[in-house]
Chains A and B, each alone.
Chain A
Amino acid sequence: MIVKLAARNLRRYLRRTLLTLTGIAFGTALAMIAIGLGDGTHDMMIRNGLQLGQGHITIQPEGYLQSPSAGLFLKETSGLLKIISSEPEVALSYPRVRGEGILSSASGGEGISFMGIDPGIEGEGELVLRSMDSGEFLDGPEGNWIVIGKKLAELLSLKVGRKTVLTVQDSQGQITSTLLRVKGIFHSGSPEIDRIYTLIPIKTVQKTLAMGNGVTSIAVYLKENRETKTVLKKLRSSISSEKIAVLPWQKIQPSLRDFVVLDDAFGYLYYLIILIIVSIGVLNTVLMSVMDRKREIGILMAVGMRPGSVLRMILAETCLIALLGTASGLIIGYGFHYYFATHGLDLSSFVGEFSLAGTVLDPVYYSSLRPARIIQIFTVIILTTITMGIYPAFKAARTEPVEAMEKP
């Protein structure tokens, strides 16, 4: 009977009900769109950031993080690679040799950071490969080739096919040089990355640095970012060497971590603002509807409806609105999410590609919503709405029946 009364009351004040419903639906849809795009960019940021970096988990010599030097490297990799690939959460892993040096041409020299990679492994250098401007990407682990960014090419007046000299300190501490030819030039959109980031076949780097088959790191990429902690724990226990450090990306790329934390905080702020707006709307209409109905609530109580039942009636009204509102908002929001997940939200006419904290953001945003996230939005909004009904419900239950008896 309480539910029947509640439903009838909602139908009687149809306009107000629809208004509240629309508000909740709008809030839910907005939350889904914002959170979907937020999570999507977030994922993209981490994905791109990690592609330029050293994976979700990096395996490198102990002490390398504090003072990277060519003297520190992992001599033996096949055993490590076997352990890593036995973890089901791992997608791919890449042995790499990183270092810093000076790249020079006839126009001068520039300090750069290089990464020796094996382009033969699926997905290696993917981000650079995607943003090739001219020339070609590396095609194998050997050969005196280098791929550089557009900015660096400009600074050194280098073109595809031109020669350049890389000067580095090898693993024995000797200064040594090697002649490389520009294979390709990329344009990531980030001037910083385009100036400093270069790729060289791994064997060439190993030879130049006189480190045999050693690598400075193994970058481990997981299927899901959120598995990082679990896999980290497992790898740490299976690779129990004091000389080897197993580190999460948050340690390797602290600026990316800070940025992700900041992005999260803004995401929650946005969420909060939507919730506050929805809450105020709901509180306002439910409170108003209770005030407007003082007389009939008074009658209900005068003829013996318990205060507790009146409370439940108002709560039932709020619950019904909340359910209908969030459900329709979910459908609308899911529609938008689906569109943005498949087509993306293309902002390239407003912004170019840009980089932040060492990560590249594509100008096309894709929405990403895990089922758990949708359930979370659904419950949070329903609970918030229902919470907003509590005060008006108590207020209604406190109505004095005599108020209904007063002259109109």
Chain B
Amino acid sequence: MPIIKTEKLTKIYRQGAVEVVALSEVDIQISHGDFAVVAGPSGSGKTTFLNLLGALDKPTSGKIWLDEQEITALSRTDRSSLRRNHIGFVFQFYNLIPVLTAYENAEFVLLLQGVDQVQRRKKVLDLLSIVGLSGLEDRYPHELSGGQQQRVAIARALASEPALVLADEPTANLDTKTGQELLDLMQQLNSDINITFLFSSHDPEVMERARRLIILRDGRVVEDRIK
């Protein structure tokens, strides 16, 4: 049983009279425990694809199943609870809530889920130490480097132990060394607790490490290779 299944997934952006087909009839299945990368040139539809899978946006047509549940017809509130309880996000550009500390950012989803204080504390401190941020818990995002911020985002994405983590070019803004450290971490989490990861990237290092490589061009899957 795949964790993600799409059927003729299509997204068309309309801007006045102009139509941009960002994603065109994509059929794909991603299994539990996968460590997959969506690659492709700029504008090929990677972000669009991840946003649809993460229930952040609605497709123009086509369907998405997440763990057997068809999600395209869900209401805003249902999509919100789906994201809260099943998906971890790492975004490309902007990740953290500026008024919350590193600790509070990582804790945020757990708070939304109503996890009790003791468990929250243990989990968040563990995760922050895993991502190498012990001692920086009380810093605000603007007091952290880009790489550190990205790591807080990963801690947040993992805190609720989601079945699926979607990460949109998580290494794009990082130096090579930090990027590698993050990949190590995610690979380790993938093999240790079987979290499914789906990245988008044009970073060769990321593609190298992926177990599955999906290449998009002009909104279509042109290559899908399991290594």
Interface residues, chain A, with chain B CB atoms under 8 Å away: 1, 5, 8-9, 11-12, 295-296, 299-309, 400-402, 404-408
**Which residues in window 79-104 of B have CB below 8 A to A?**
80-81, 83-85, 89, 91-100
CB <8 Å contact, B91 and A302? yes
- Is A400 in contact with B57, judged by CB distance below 8 angstroms? yes
Cβ–Cβ contact B77 & A306, under 8 A = yes
Given contacts A295-B94, A405-B47, A407-B93, contact A303 B100 (CB under 8 A): no
- Which residues, 40 to 68 on B, are CB-close (under 8 Å) to A? 47, 51, 54, 56-57
Q: Are B84 and A303 in contact (CB under 8 A)?
A: yes
CA distance A244 to B221 in the complex (A): 100
B94 touches A404 (CB 8 A): yes
Q: Is B123 an interface residue (CB 8 A)?
A: no
How many interface contacts (CB-CB < 8 Å) are there between A and B? 76
Q: Mark B9-46, 1 if CB is under 8 A from A, else 0.
A: 00000000000000000000000000000000000000
Q: List B contacts of A5 (CB < 8 A).
A: 97, 99-100
Using Cβ atoms and an 8 Å threshold, which residues of chain B touch A308? 77
- The answer to whether B94 and A299 touch across the interface, beta carbons within 8 angstroms, is yes
Q: How far, in angstroms, from A180 to B146 measured CA to CA in the complex? A: 100
Asked if A302 contacts B56 (CB within 8 A), the reply is yes
Find chain B residues with CB under 8 A from A406 CB. Answer: 93
What would 24 A/B residue contacts be, using CB atoms closer than 8 Å?
A9-B99, A296-B98, A296-B99, A300-B97, A302-B83, A302-B89, A302-B91, A303-B84, A303-B108, A303-B109, A304-B83, A304-B84, A305-B112, A306-B81, A307-B76, A401-B57, A402-B51, A405-B56, A405-B92, A405-B94, A405-B168, A406-B93, A407-B92, A408-B93
Decide: A405 near B91, CB < 8 A? Known: A12-B99, A303-B156, A400-B57. yes
State whether B57 touches A304 (Cβ < 8 A): no
CB-contact partner of B56 in A296, A305, A401, under 8 A: A401
| Chain B residues engaging chain A, CB cutoff 8 angstroms | 47, 51, 54, 56-57, 76-77, 80-81, 83-85, 89, 91-100, 108-109, 111-113, 156, 168
A300 to B54, CA, bound (A): 14
B168 and chain A: residue at smallest CB distance: A405
Do A1 and B111 touch (CB < 8 A)?
yes
A236, chain B: closest CB distance, angstroms: 62
CB distance from B91 to the nearest CB of A (A): 6
| Least distance between B215 CB and chain A CB atoms (Å) | 21
Give Cα A70–Cα B128 distance, bound, in whole angstroms. Answer: 99
Candidates B47, B56, B99, B168; contact of A8 at CB < 8 Å:
B99
- Within the assembled complex, what's the spacing in Å between the Cα atoms of A406 and B80? 19
Q: Give the one of B51, B81, B99 with max A CB within 10 A.
A: B99
Residues of A near B96 (CB, < 8 A) are 299
List residues of chain A with CB within 8 A of the CB of B76: 307
Given A303-B112, A304-B84, A402-B56, 12 new contacts (CB under 8 A): A5-B99, A12-B98, A299-B94, A299-B97, A300-B97, A303-B108, A304-B80, A304-B113, A305-B80, A305-B84, A405-B51, A405-B94
A304 to B87 Cα, complex, angstroms: 9
CB proximity of B164 to chain A, nearest CB, Å: 13
Chain A residues closer than 8 Å to B92, beta-carbon distance: 405, 407
For B99, the closest partner residue in chain A by CB is: A8
Whether B77 pairs with A307 at a CB distance below 8 angstroms is: yes
Instruction: For B51, list chain A residues within 8 Å (CB).
Output: 402, 405
Q: How far is the CA of A406 from the CA of B51 in the complex (A)?
A: 11
Report the Cα distance A300→B56, complex, angstroms: 12
Contacts of B85 in A (CB 8 A): 304
Is B81 within 8 A of A304, CB to CB? yes
Bound Cα distance from A263 to B131, whole angstroms? 70
* A296, A400, A408, most chain B CB atoms within 10 A: A296
Closest chain B residue, CB of each to CB of A406: B93
Query: Provided the pairs A1-B111, A296-B97 are in contact, do residues A404 and B91 lie with their beta carbons within 8 angstroms?
Result: yes
When distances are taken between beta carbons in the complex, the residues of chain A under 8 Å from B108 are 303
**Chain B residues with CB below 8 A from A401, complex form:** 56-57, 83
| Whole-angstrom CA separation of A315 from B142 in the bound complex | 26
* From B80, B108, B156, residue with most partner A Cβ within 10 Å: B80
10 nearest CB pairs, A to B: A304-B84, A8-B99, A304-B83, A401-B56, A402-B57, A12-B99, A295-B94, A402-B56, A306-B80, A1-B111
**B109 and A304 form a contact (CB under 8 A):** yes
Known: A306-B80, A307-B76, A402-B56. A408 touches B94 (CB 8 A): yes
